[in-house]
A and B are shown apart, each in its own frame.
Chain A
Amino acid sequence: MNLDWSLLAPEYVLAGWAAMLVSVDLFWGRLRKDWLGYLAAAGALASTLTSLIWLNDDTNFANLIEVNNYTTFFRVFFGLIGVFACVASARFVKDRLLHPGEYYALILLTVIGGSYMAAARELLTAYISLELLSFSLYVLTSYAKFDLRSNEGGLKYMLLGAFSSAIFLFGMSLIYGVTRTTQFEGIHEVLTGDTSGFELTLFLGLVLIIAGLGFKVAAVPFHMWTPDAYEGAPLPVTALISAISKAGGFALFLKLFAMAFLPLVDDWRLFLAGLSAATMLLGNLVAIQQHNIKRLLAYSSIGQVGYLLMGIAALSADNADAASALVLHLAGYVISNLAAFVCAIIYFNWTEKDEIADYDGLAERAPFLALALSISLFSLAGMPLFAGFVTKFILFQAAVEEDLLWLASIAVFTSFVSLYYYLVVVKHMYLGEPEEPTRFPTPWVEYAALAVLLIGVFLVGLGPQPLFNAVQDSTAFIFTGAEAAATVGAGP
């Protein structure tokens, strides 16, 4: 058993940094006002850089977590999400929230949770990481203590989260019962054999796990917390939820299904495909009716979940690309979505408004912001030049490879529907009359973060090869044993 504690270094950095933030907040009042957010971002960045030490490595810690490119990819990914979340929060927190130290500490803790969801190679670790992530988000969601909507969002998120994690746990217990192990590879091994004696329990466990993870990633019909939590949470927290909770959920979802449940793929494929179809239909259709930007993005993210679920439905023993495609789209979605949220945060910082109608005339008052928001929304809609087009294309194609043409058709159709409600936002920005014609002051730091995200959107959109290679290198590790060797022949 490998007990090389240094493998956990990036998380130690994060945890230590979190502790430091709390202390700094406590003892160093002046700094905390302006610089705490950036300090936290530096911590996330430091952990990201630390995690790069294990690039192209393949090892594990006590068979609990593994450190390979999959882990590294998500460590970097979540670390960067943390960086952007902290930077984007800085002004918001300073102006509107109490206890900034704890706030940033919690953000860093979510990064740990997310990273370990990706890194876990057995159920218990995965579960605890998931709870770490969720708990932090519950707190963050209700962080605006005197805002009823924040309270309400937090309450719903928390109670439903507890409920669903109970379901998830029950499912895990059943799986554990029939496989007698919590190791993904062990489960895989058992399931490769004859399952006829215990398949009822097995499938019930599977269903419950799908439900639990479905809740985490907001798949219909387990999605209902999403709009309320998104709307209630303080804006930067919404951004964080939309990015890290979803990405973490999918990192685990994908790994679990690719590593552990793959032998049953023919049984669960259609169910996930059905969930996926329902998710993208409901998410995108209801999004049409929204008039709050956070709620709109919530429903749009539900729609995106539908697309991502396609990637899991398209998994198969001889198709590693679905996994890569899923992660690629996940990355594209998160980058675009974060960009959109950063825009919304900047606007909220100026005006304290988050209704879509409030965006009237933004193009006059802040052209760059309007442009950036349009780009991010178009990227989410899957328009060319931007990340969303390429990533969706590859994801859908991967699904079609597995004979899911009907599902891909629904996906294409719903992403067409999504264009409508994104265009409505664009319409308000470019066609609405601004309340007053004055320009907004330029928030340089946020703009810089936004610019970096937009560059990401364009890079992925115009030259996805580097990201795709990275993704492929990482997903090569989530396939167990012989299959992995056979399926990722194209990889390095």
Chain B
Amino acid sequence: MDWAVFATIAVPAGTAGLLMAIPSRHRDVVRYVALMSGSSLFILSLIIFGKYQFDDGGYAFELQLDWLGNVAFLGEKGITYHLAVDGIAAPLVLLTGIVIFAGVFMSWNIEYRNKDFFILLFLMVGGVYGVFESVDLFFLFFFYELAVLPMYLLIAVWGSSTDFGTFVRTKEYGAMKLVLYLVAGSVLIFIAIFATFVEAGQGSFDLPVLGSVTYGENFQKTFFPFFMLGFGVLAGLWPFHTWSPDGHVAAPTAVSMLHAGVLMKLGAFGILRVGMSLFPEGAAFWAPVLMTLGVTGALYGAISAMAQRDLKYMVGYSSVSHMGYVLMGLATMNEIGINGAVLQMFAHGVMTALMFAMVGAIYDQAHARDMTIFGGLSRNMPRHASYWAVAGLSSLGLPGLAGFVAEFHIFVGTFQADYIWAGALGILAAAITATYILRMLAFAFFGPFNERWASLKEMRIGEQFGGAVLIFFIAFMGMWPMPFVDRIAATVSRLPGIT
């Protein structure tokens, strides 16, 4: 099954190529091709997740091809196209499969140049898979940027500009800021990769090779922040988070889903996969800072979300808040906390994708996202309301749904690592989450029905199905987290410097 990992990158690339060949007037053909591809990615991801042997937590599905060697400073092997999946990547690969599968459904009714849309979307997905599966730092970085780049056009062309009265956020602004911000983060990563490579002196960008080297303490302390901040930007690390709400507000539905659902995870994944596994001492040194920023982000995001009236802003800030938990989990430097962080990546990915999908579903019909102008929508859209509720409840940490399992691990880890204040504030942030989620539900879906929206109908069947897939995983993980925990813990326990 080694081809499965390769296929997750080949399929999106192939899809993009295939779509290019289809004349753009055949919109339905484009859709079905996208659906086929999305489903096959979903199935592939399930296979990878399911078949991952978690006994020793090592790499599985390894594939290593020579790419650029014979360069003196790169050594004989040089850069290799090295793909593999470990217990941390496996759930995230699955997450990507789920979200793109659902995302195709949510993008079904895009009419404007839908071919180009799907081409870019699949390019981005290929990049995302690449990051999760790359074991070579060069390719990790390669795919990292690849995942970011299509975002510009996806947002700028298919997104929406919004006038908020006191200020305006155009899609061009959102797109530009998002892309530049993320690439700015990658500047730091780039620098740190160079330095690491030279310091290691192994002539390889391969993570296992780089990981076999012990780096000097000062070196670790100097360069861990590069990875921390560089990847942290993508993970919505406070105070480098503002691209996220503005970007999401501008982005089209499927892009928001993928972006908040998966792309933000790349950042946290990078901190873990690259920063912490290479520089355990550096990580330990900077962990208090990461913890502080994580908690700040969690609280700050939650409080900001509480002040939002625009649904997407609310969800966007909630993403900042939830990614704050992920960073807290990473900063614990213990197995429970990091497990929780990875669980939270998955959980947040699925639930935030669902939230954005629901925002999209309502925006498609109403062309408005201000929660206060709606009211009683659950009368006409009961399913829609209940999907919202599930996503919201998961995000506020209701037991039985995915968010709780993850957050609980994180809090426990935080307390175990003696950041009691941080854990307490994190729990408080979860309570604030309840406030804004319920506030939103009360504004938009409950209360007297607002006749202005009498024309709104229930979501399309495709949207319902896509949402149902997401809900299935939210509930699945909430009820039976062991399949995830097994895989994650097996790998996390192998990380250096983890207590």
Q: Are A430 and B153 in contact (CB under 8 A)?
A: yes
28 contacts between A and B (CB under 8 A): A319-B73, A324-B71, A383-B146, A383-B149, A384-B142, A384-B146, A384-B149, A390-B68, A396-B190, A397-B194, A398-B73, A400-B197, A400-B198, A401-B198, A405-B191, A405-B195, A416-B180, A419-B179, A423-B176, A463-B67, A465-B67, A468-B70, A469-B70, A487-B72, A488-B72, A490-B70, A490-B76, A491-B70
Chain B CB within 8 A of A117 CB: no
Chain B residues near A400 (CB, 8 Å)? 194-195, 197-198
Residue in A closest to B147 when the chains form the complex, CB atoms: A384
Q: Are A396 and B172 in contact (CB under 8 A)?
A: no
Report the number of A-B residue pairs with Cβ-Cβ less than 8 Å: 97
Chain B CB within 8 A of A389 CB: yes
Chain A CB within 8 A of B207 CB: no
Within 8 A of B (CB), among A407-423: 408-409, 412-413, 416, 419-420, 423
Q: Give the Cβ gap from A292 to chain B, nearest Cβ, in Å.
A: 21
Chain B CB within 8 A of A33 CB: no
Contact A384 to B187, CB < 8 A, known contacts A419-B179, A431-B156, A472-B70:
no
Q: Are B183 and A409 in contact (CB under 8 A)?
A: no
Which among B68, B71, B145, B184 has the highest number of chain A CB atoms within 10 Å? B71
Chain A CB within 8 A of B69 CB: yes
Residue in B closest to A392 when the chains form the complex, CB atoms: B190
Chain A CB within 8 A of B325 CB: no
Q: Chain B contact residues: over half helix, strand or loop, or mixed?
A: helix
CA separation between A378 and B194, bound complex, in Å? 22
Q: Are A378 and B149 in contact (CB under 8 A)?
A: yes
Q: Give the Cβ gap from A434 to chain B, nearest Cβ, in Å.
A: 14
Chain A CB within 8 A of B411 CB: no
Chain A CB within 8 A of B129 CB: no
User: B400-413 vs A: 1/0 string, CB under 8 Å?
Assistant: 00000000000000
Q: Give the Cβ gap from B260 to chain A, nearest Cβ, in Å.
A: 22
Chain B residues near A394 (CB, 8 Å)? 68, 71
Q: Are B183 and A430 in contact (CB under 8 A)?
A: no
Q: Are B72 and A320 in contact (CB under 8 A)?
A: yes
Chain A residues near B157 (CB, 8 Å)? 430-431
Nearest first, the 5 A-B pairs at minimum CB distance are: A400-B194, A384-B142, A490-B72, A384-B146, A412-B190
Chain B CB within 8 A of A321 CB: yes
Q: Are A472 and B198 in contact (CB under 8 A)?
A: no
Pick from B68, B142, B172, B179: contact of A468, CB under 8 Å: B68
Q: Are B73 and A401 in contact (CB under 8 A)?
A: yes
Chain A residues near B141 (CB, 8 Å)? 384, 393
Residue in A closest to B159 when the chains form the complex, CB atoms: A431
Chain A CB within 8 A of B436 CB: no
Within 8 A of A (CB), among B166-195: 172, 176, 179-180, 183-184, 186-187, 190-191, 194-195
Q: Give the Cβ gap from A173 to chain B, nearest Cβ, in Å.
A: 36
CA separation between A423 and B141, bound complex, in Å? 20
How many chain A residues sit at the interface, stated as a range, is: 35 or more
Q: Hey, which bits of chain B sit against chain A, CB under 8 A? A: 66-74, 76, 127, 138, 141-143, 145-146, 149, 152-153, 156-157, 172, 176, 179-180, 183-184, 186-187, 190-191, 194-195, 197-198
Q: Chain A contact residues: over half helix, strand or loop, or mixed?
A: helix
Q: A383-B149, A384-B143, A400-B198 are in contact. List 9 more A-B contacts (CB 8 A).
A: A384-B141, A384-B149, A390-B68, A400-B197, A427-B176, A430-B153, A463-B67, A472-B70, A490-B70
CA separation between A491 and B187, bound complex, in Å? 31
CA separation between A409 and B188, bound complex, in Å? 8
Q: Are A427 and B156 in contact (CB under 8 A)?
A: yes
Chain B residues near A321 (CB, 8 Å)? 71-73
Contact A412 to B73, CB < 8 A, known contacts A397-B197, A430-B157, A465-B67:
no
Chain B residues near A324 (CB, 8 Å)? 71
Residue in B closest to A320 when the chains form the complex, CB atoms: B72
CA separation between A378 and B153, bound complex, in Å? 12
User: A456-492 vs B: 1/0 string, CB under 8 Å?
Assistant: 0000000111001100100000000000000111110
Q: Give the Cβ gap from B78 to chain A, nearest Cβ, in Å.
A: 9
Residue in A closest to B119 when the chains form the complex, CB atoms: A371
Which among B66, B152, B157 has the highest number of chain A CB atoms within 10 Å? B152
CA separation between A487 and B141, bound complex, in Å? 29
Q: Give the Cβ gap from B479 to chain A, nearest Cβ, in Å.
A: 39
Chain A residues near B197 (CB, 8 Å)? 397, 400
Chain B CB within 8 A of A385 CB: yes
Q: Give the Cβ gap from A227 to chain B, nearest Cβ, in Å.
A: 24
Q: Are B172 and A464 in contact (CB under 8 A)?
A: no
